[in-house]
Structure 1
Amino acid sequence: MSIMSPPPIMEPPSDAVIPIAIAGARRHSTARHAIPLYLSIAPFYILFAIFGLFPLAFSLYLSFQKWDGIGTMQFVGLHQFTYLLTDAYFWQSIVNTLEIWLLANIPMLTVSVVLAFLLASPLVKLRSFYRIAFFLPHITSLVALAIIFSSLFSNQFGLLNALLTVLRLPRIAWLSDPWGIKIALAAMIFWRSLGYHALIFMAGLQNIPSVLYEAAQIDGATSRQIFARITLPLLRPVILFTVITSTISGMQVFTEPQVLLGNDGGPGRQGMTMVLYLYQQAFANYQFGYGAAIGWGLFAVIALFSLLNWIVVQRPGKHQS
């Protein structure tokens, strides 16, 4: 019986070795040149992972735990989310936040559109000065703004009540009355956000080609028709951006009620917003697990209203197309 020898190992031809070596050298050269590029952007991703992804993941993990910040964590599963759905104070904070958002953002967006037209008009002198003046409240410290507005809306020594006294009108307990509290907070948000959104609308107006207005005027279109048929449709992406950003910022109101009313949101918790309630539960009552659950509930509310805003704003454009 003969024993068969293994087949000989075939070596690649010499002309095939050269392309393989060239490809390997190219990959090595590409990786060597790419390393400095990756190192240049690495700080952002490292900081984002430490201060962004890790807190996000830890808050989700913490929402399933009962923890006072010092002792041992106790796993409670979905108990805190189920309790959140039945928490009357949480639902009150949602209602308060929505009421303040409506009182502040609807007038603010309406006035900011009118203000944008004025700031973009060549008939207005010193436009740069007015742009800076209207934008300054947006970059001013929120704590400073809250202190200023507390002097305006104070029940006893507020400037508004002093003006009402001079006009022989009844004084208003701004920081004790439920709607007075909401009006005071909405006025702060209105004042802080008006200039920022006006500049956004003004930038959108400046991107609309002037030939469209000239053609419409030649065709005999009125100012109302030009605004309804040209300006608003072309401003729809800007309107969508401002509505969504104002919704997100409006749902995250914290500094204004916290400085103006304290951690309890004022009498009857009428100024208790969702973020202030999160702060109260986590950092005042030391219920960090429940505070994390409130944070994810806040995320769900913001996502829901952002989606609704997107649907409402985008729907007219779909019908026109």
Structure 2
Amino acid sequence: MSTRIGGKVVPYLFIAPFIISFIVFFLYPGINSLVLSLYNYPGYGHAVWVGLHNYSAALTDPFFWVAFRNTIFYWVAHAVPVIVISFLLALGIHSQLVKWKSVIKPLVFFPQVVPTIAAALVFQFIFSSGIFARSGGGSVLSNPDFARWAVVIFTGWGSIGWFTIVFLAGLTTVSEELYEAAAIDGASSWNRMFRITIPLMRPIFSFAFVMDGISSIQSYTGPNVLLAGSGQAPADAMPLLNLVQSNITGGSFGLASAFGWLTFLIIAIISVLQLILFRGNDQ
């Protein structure tokens, strides 16, 4: 009897560290921030119940909609180019035409391991010198339109390596026998890619787009360091998480929590819509 009970308990002991850390560092803070978003709390003293006032204040804040548009732009302008380039790189590395794969893979993945702050400072120097040095008498990074594109270029550079590895892993799941059978039937390389590779990798594409959406909407360090060096990015180019940070710094913890949960809601809606889109007609 004791052996049987022990056999049931042991698996839970192995996953206990994750469960404990999930509860302590994610579940409890998440629930606490949700409750806090219903209060006016400056960080000390008594919290005052305000109900949904923080959410109405957040939604009527003009900076919220500016940051919302900026964040959606960072996601939309970033997603398709990064996914397409990453997939093509993965196809090239996976093919038999490319040699020195053990060297090329680390080089492609290298931007992912570079510290974000260091990379952002390097890109800030690049965009502030040479052909990018001046635009209308000032730095091009002070131009809101170019500044937003600079953020897209920077985040894209940092993301391509990770998604390339994801697609490389997905390509290994496609049977070579399918390609051989299609080649025997006279299918061209393009036909094999569009009729075999891409359809079979649809779950991988779904995962990639969802992860890219989450990371883009949660962007904070890159845009702020790239556009400001220190402090916060200008209001006309700031991402959503700047509103969370600015309200924490200003002592409005309830309003900061409301902005955080609105960001979470945006991520959830976009992720669900992408999952539905990629599910297509699958039952």
Regarding TM over 0.5, the answer is yes
Q: CA, structure 1 residues 264+127, in 2 after alignment: closer, same or farther (shift >3 Å)?
A: same
Letter in 1 for 2:25: F
Q: CA, structure 1 residues 129+172, in 2 after alignment: closer, same or farther (shift >3 Å)?
A: farther
Kept in 2, the 8 Å contact 1:253–1:275? The answer is yes
Aligned counterpart, 1:57: 31
Whether 1:295 and 2:269 are equivalent positions in the alignment is no
Alpha-carbon deviation of 1:40? 4.5
Aligned counterpart, 1:218: 184
What secondary structure, in the 3-state scheme, does the structure 2 residue paired with 1:270 have?
A: helix
Q: CA, structure 1 residues 172+240, in 2 after alignment: closer, same or farther (shift >3 Å)?
A: farther
Q: Given the alignment, which residue of 265, 268, 272 partners 2:233?
A: 265
Aligned counterpart, 1:234: 200
What secondary structure, in the 3-state scheme, does the structure 1 residue paired with 2:163 have?
A: helix
Aligned counterpart, 1:80: 54
Letter in 2 for 1:306: S
Aligned counterpart, 2:271: 306
Whether 1:97 and 2:71 are equivalent positions in the alignment is yes
Aligned counterpart, 2:251: 286
TM (normalized to structure 2)?
0.92
Whether 1:188 and 2:154 are equivalent positions in the alignment is yes
Aligned counterpart, 1:250: 216
Q: Which whole-Å CA distance do the structure 1 matches of 2:72 and 2:140 have between them?
A: 19
Aligned counterpart, 2:80: 106
Q: Which whole-Å CA distance do the structure 2 matches of 1:110 and 1:171 have between them?
A: 36
Q: Which whole-Å CA distance do the structure 1 matches of 2:137 and 2:202 have between them?
A: 42
Could you report, residue by residue, the CA deviation over 1:132-169 in whole angstroms, capped at 9, with x for unpaired residues? 01111112211111111111112xxx24426xx9xxx9
Alpha-carbon deviation of 1:261? 2.8
Letter in 2 for 1:270: D
In terms of Rg, which structure is larger?
A: 1
Higher relative CO (Cα under 8 Å, sequence separation at least 6) belongs to: 2
Alpha-carbon deviation of 1:85? 2.0
Q: CA, structure 1 residues 280+170, in 2 after alignment: closer, same or farther (shift >3 Å)?
A: closer
Moved over 4 A (4+): 32-40, 169-172
Q: Which whole-Å CA distance do the structure 1 matches of 2:91 and 2:15 have between them?
A: 40
Q: CA, structure 1 residues 59+46, in 2 after alignment: closer, same or farther (shift >3 Å)?
A: same
Q: Mind listing any 5+ residue stretches in structure 2 that lack a counterpart?
A: none
Pairwise CA RMSD: 2.1
The number of aligned residues is: 281
Could you report, residue by residue, the CA deviation over 1:213-269 in whole angstroms, capped at 9, with x for unpaired residues? 111111112222222111110010100010000000011000012212344422xx1
TM (normalized to structure 1)?
0.81
What secondary structure, in the 3-state scheme, does the structure 2 residue paired with 1:175 have?
A: helix
Q: Mind listing any 5+ residue stretches in structure 1 that lack a counterpart?
A: 1-25
Q: Which whole-Å CA distance do the structure 1 matches of 2:190 and 2:9 have between them?
A: 58
Aligned counterpart, 1:19: none
Whether 1:204 and 2:170 are equivalent positions in the alignment is yes
Aligned counterpart, 1:14: none
Alpha-carbon deviation of 1:310? 1.2
Alpha-carbon deviation of 1:33? 5.7
Larger deviation, residues 29-38 vs 75-84: 29-38
Kept in 2, the 8 Å contact 1:137–1:191? The answer is yes
Kept in 2, the 8 Å contact 1:151–1:159? The answer is no
Aligned counterpart, 1:11: none
Q: Which whole-Å CA distance do the structure 1 matches of 2:224 and 2:262 have between them?
A: 20
